Amino acid sequence: MTQRNKGILTVVSGFSGAGKGTIMKELMKKYSEQYALSVSATTRAPRCGETDGVEYFFKSREEFEQMIADEALIEYAQYVGNYYGTPKAYVEEQLNAGKDVILEIEIQGALKVKKRFPDTLLLFVTPPSADELKKRLIGRGTETMDVIESRLARALEEAEGIEEYDYLVNNDVLDECVEEVHELIQNEHYRVSRNIEAINTMRDELKGFKR
Ligand code: 5GP
């Protein structure tokens, strides 16, 4: 039985190159009815093959700063010299429609979301080893060695915040990892604190039997 209450807001973070993007794509493909993936805004340039409105909404610094001023973002952060932020409207709309919404964002943003919405589920994806992480970043072939070095340096900083997360997911075998992420999110629907409304309805109904 699937427990149905309001959508679960989940943040997925992880070292750059850990494979978060691939996991999310697979999850959307397999369970498209259940999940909505938030598309972030960023000031970084599109990588080869990226399309505006699909991977990101690509913005100029001025446009991004206007979104901040308009309070159109749930959170935003700077990462390796660029702004990244989560547009508010889509997330709220999808959660209210009962979808589980996933934000694939870095740690500063994740902690801001958790503070603002304390029932957010925080998942951290890690590759099997640091060596494997470097190999995956180089293999992706989308960044210069310079950028790769900054991302690896930033990875060390990100490791410091892992304690704040709820679950650690090891991305060794992709299919297994996708299933683990799916189960962790779906299990959240059974948490008592997320089912208070159902419990109160049950209580009210039981009152009807009082003698
Ligand atoms: P990339 O440039 O590799 O696409 O993303 C760089 C980092 O920014 C990743 O860790 C990614 O998860 C994070 N990121 C993407 N979108 C957002 C966002 O909306 N807010 C925050 N805080 N981080 C984001």
Residue 4's pLDDT is 62
Measure 40 CA to ligand 1 centroid, in angstroms. Answer: 8
Ligand 1 binding pocket includes 79 (Cβ within 6 Å):
yes
Ligand 1 binding pocket includes 84 (Cβ within 6 Å):
yes
Query: What is the Cα–Cα distance from 140 to 187, expressed in whole angstroms?
Result: 33
Measure 104 CA to ligand 1 centroid, in angstroms. Answer: 7
In angstroms, the first-to-last Cα distance of the chain is: 33
Residue 47's pLDDT is 92
Instruction: Give the ligand 1 atom nearest the CA of 12.
Output: 12
Ligand 1 binding pocket includes 154 (Cβ within 6 Å):
no
Residue 3's pLDDT is 54
Which residue has the least CA distance to atom 24 on ligand 1? 105
Measure 103 CA to ligand 1 centroid, in angstroms. Answer: 9
Ligand 1 binding pocket includes 85 (Cβ within 6 Å):
yes
What amino acid occupies position 133? L
Could you list the pLDDT tens digit for every one of the 211 residues in the chain?
A: 445 678 999 999 998 778 898 999 999 999 999 999 999 999 999 999 999 999 999 999 999 999 999 999 999 999 889 999 999 999 999 999 999 999 999 888 999 999 999 999 999 999 988 888 888 888 888 888 898 888 888 788 777 788 999 999 999 999 999 999 999 999 999 999 999 999 999 999 999 998 8
Question: 0.85 cut: is pTM over it?
Answer: yes
Ligand 1 site-directed mutation target among 105, 112, 164, most atoms within 8 Å of CB? 105
Residue 90's pLDDT is 95
